[in-house]
Amino acid sequence: MSNHSIVYLLDDEPEMLKALSRVLNAHGLQTKAFLSAREFLAHDQSSQPACLVLDLAMPELDGLEVQRRLSHDDVALPIVFLTGHGDIPSSVRAMKAGAEDFLTKPVDAADLLRAVCAAIRQSEEQQEAVIEINEHRAKLAQLTPRQREVLEYVIAGKMNKNIAAELGTGEQNIKVHRRRLIRKMGVKSLAELVRLAERLGVEPAF
Amino acid sequence: MNWITTAWSMIAGAMLAIAGVYLVVWLQQKESRAYLMFVLLAVSTAGIAGTELWMMHSSTITEFGTAGRWFHLPVATAIFAFVGLVYYRLDANRVWLALTVCGLRAVTLIINFLQDPNINYVEITRLDRVTLLGESISMVDGVPNPWMLVAQLGLLLLIIYVLDAATTAWRRDRDGFTLALGIAFGVLVVGGSVQATLGFWEVVQIPVFVTPFFLGVSIVMSVDLGRGILRASILDSALKSTNVELRESEQHLSLAAEAAHAGLFSVDPRTDRIWATAKTRQLLALESAGELYWKGVEKRIHADDLSRLLQLVDDTLRSGENVQTDFRIMLPDGSVRWLSVLGSWRSSGEARQGMLTGVLRDITASRDKDNETAQQKTQIAHLSRVATLSELSSSLAHEINQPLGIILSNAEAAAVLLAREPPDLDELREIVADIISADRRAAGVISRMRALLRREKPKLQETSLNDSINDALSLLNGEFLIHNVSMDVILKSDLPSVQADNILLVQVILNLITNACDAVADNPPGQRVVRISTEANGEEVQAKISDNGSGLPQNPAQVFDPFFTTKASGLGMGLAICRSIIDAHNGRIWADSDEAGETTFHLSLPIILETA
């Protein structure tokens, strides 16, 4: 686990926030505590790996609502729920909506640490994936419009001569485009190119 | 034209005809002796008319004497009949007078036949032919017979007898017709006697005819008796039309009963014979025709309800009050139906004499619905009880878990910090302070919760523990039946009242009964017994709720601890709440079990002390 990760704590009780911060800090985790959902949602998300320890029952916006809003804003933040009484319908809803874990108070430090670490690892993986995809996006952006067009035909499984006919040019021409775009995208095989294009959301031209 | 002969003959004929008619009437109503007397009177009157005609037409002194002798026979029978008529018709009460009159007349008759020529004359000296109403008839002169005084004494007594009977009847009945009858009798008997006596002693020169007087008596009598017959025939036709109306109203009643799907019946408890409408027979699945006795109905009644029903019928026969109850019947195909009966006892005065009539209705469907409703009600009561408890325990859990969480996390953080070298004592001090404050907070939650539970101050009022138990049982209506739990309830009557909040008390009892039913649920059917009893015990009233179910833990007091439960889905709050309620009533609640494995929950509440 990288030591530049951060654990956000959201609970309407200052004493609880202080206690959770202490126990996580004591185990070497960086924390940032918020007393209200509004305060948390308003703060700028850092780019470092992070997770949220979220109290289920809070006045105004409760934990589930916070989870819904984060997901609505496409914020990929693993959530560990913490609740005074584990009522089954709430926990089911939370887990279905993608919660990392669901813990009941009083929570053992060991359980809390395990859940938080898992959530942070999840966050790191998500961030790594984001970094990787961003690199690929940058490569995709380097393609000329013609190369991009050819890519769409290639991943649709068309032969060079068919592509040439579709685009009204020579087969030789297409072969050059194809070679160049494969080099630019940094893939070794056609299969890899198809997979990457799919991840980047390139639509095949059928 | 021979007017006398014609008239007398017609009188005799008419009298015989009337006698014939009334003879027929008497033969049909033999208990009405007045008719018999009248027949005798009418025949006698005919006889008198005949013998008088004989005398009037006698051509010799000897023949006249003979006719005169025979004349006394119908006169005697006429007087007997007349005395009898007065006796029966006017309810004369001087029997001795009647017997004396009859006796004297009998003596007169005997003397008459011993004398020659008869009791009227010692000797007839002359026979004259005189003209009366244009007809020549015989009249005689002779030496009057002194024995005639006996006859006339009899006549005098007859007059007294009749007048006495007439006035007594009038005083008693105040009935106009009786008065008229009495006057008519009086006038005729006095008139006849005076005429005969005066004529006999030749005070005035008149022929002695008694026929018209007896004719008068007969006419008066026939009017009177005819009136009776007329009244009877009016009554008869009224009865007939009443019968028609009765039949109609019976039909209407049957129609109404039919429409209400109700059967009608009546039972004569002396003979056990039952009259029942077709619907009743159908409801009881009995043969549609034929004689019906209680025995035949009894076999249909469900064994569990029979003794109760018989007891109710017995009570009704004694008290005369209406009876209404529901009971089960078992049909030949084995199915059970619920019937509702409403009966009333029409006593004819004496014990067990009369008719038990009633209406019978099949209420199986509505009963099922009632059961369903009651069940739903119970379920709702149960659910809301559970909901309240679970809400309570869940908010309790939240309130407690929050400070517990703070304490735990702080303590664990402290443990880590303490392991560091050097430990951050300032931080540790802060942590300990936070732990203490969180701990205090948890304690505060508990005491607040207690205060909350206590806040529901029971509304104490005079309450009967028996009523509360009955309320709880009615709330449970049917539930234990469905689970085949047999419930023995023995509530001591005249139990002193207690100060209690009935709603809370019912909640406690309901909880205890439900627990008992749950405890026996694993017993085989037929061995699930719950017993409820009450008694007064010194300054307390006690209720015991016992079951032969799954028993108690080693330490029975434990069952009253919050969150102690043996049920898979139980919260363990029921008995804890029961105890807090009973505590609030200054009562006691405890549990024990005996060697036989019977578990008993005891409930004890202080009796209200009489304030002088």
First to last CA, chain A: 45
The predicted model gives B122-148 an average pLDDT of 84
The predicted model gives B287-292 an average pLDDT of 82
CB B608, CB B462: distance < 8 Å: yes
Q: Which of A19, A27, A87 sits opposite B434 (nearest CB)?
A: A19
Q: What is the pLDDT of residue B110?
A: 92
pTM value surpassing 0.80: no
Axis crossing angle, helix B176-200 with helix B211-259, rounded to the nearest 10: 160
Q: What is the pLDDT of residue A51?
A: 92
pLDDT in tens, B218-265: 888 888 878 877 888 888 888 888 888 888 877 777 777 777 778 888
**What average pLDDT does chain B have?**
82
**What average pLDDT does chain A have?**
86
The predicted model gives B315-342 an average pLDDT of 83
pLDDT confidence tier of residue B448, bands split at 50, 70 and 90: low
**Is residue B454 predicted with pLDDT exceeding 60?**
no
Exposed, middle or buried: residue B357 (CB in 10 Å: 0-12, 13-18, 19+)? middle
Task: Give the mutation candidate from B390, B392, B396, B406 for the A interface (greatest A CB count, under 10 A).
Answer: B406
Q: What is the pLDDT of residue B612?
A: 39
A-proximal residues of B, 427-456, CB under 8 Å: 427, 431, 434, 437-438
**Is residue B450 predicted with pLDDT exceeding 50?**
yes
**Contact: B412, A105; criterion CB under 8 Å:** no
Question: Which of B584 and B404 is assigned the larger pLDDT?
Answer: B404
Q: Supply the DSSP symbol for B115.
A: S
Q: Which of B399, B401, B409 sits opposite A23 (nearest CB)?
A: B409
- Provide the CA B589 distance to its chain's centre, in angstroms: 48
pLDDT in tens, B140-199: 888 888 888 888 888 889 889 988 888 888 888 777 777 777 888 888 888 888 877 877
Q: Is-cis flag, bond preceding B269, omega within 30?
A: no
The predicted model gives B363-369 an average pLDDT of 77
pLDDT confidence tier of residue B452, bands split at 50, 70 and 90: low
| SS3 (DSSP) at B581 | helix
Backbone angles phi, psi at B256, to 5 degrees: -60, -45
**Is residue B376 predicted with pLDDT exceeding 80?**
no
pLDDT confidence tier of residue A18, bands split at 50, 70 and 90: very high
The predicted model gives B317-321 an average pLDDT of 77
Task: Give the mutation candidate from A12, A20, A22, A29 for the B interface (greatest B CB count, under 10 A).
Answer: A22
Question: Which of B399 and B522 is assigned the larger pLDDT?
Answer: B522
CA distance B425 to chain A (A): 14
pLDDT in tens, B12-57: 999 999 899 889 988 988 888 888 998 999 999 999 999 988 988 8
pLDDT confidence tier of residue A87, bands split at 50, 70 and 90: low
CA distance A156 to chain B (A): 57
Q: What is the pLDDT of residue B40?
A: 92
pLDDT in tens, A147-187: 888 999 988 888 888 888 888 888 898 999 988 888 888 88
pLDDT confidence tier of residue B455, bands split at 50, 70 and 90: very low
**Contact: B409, A85; criterion CB under 8 Å:** no
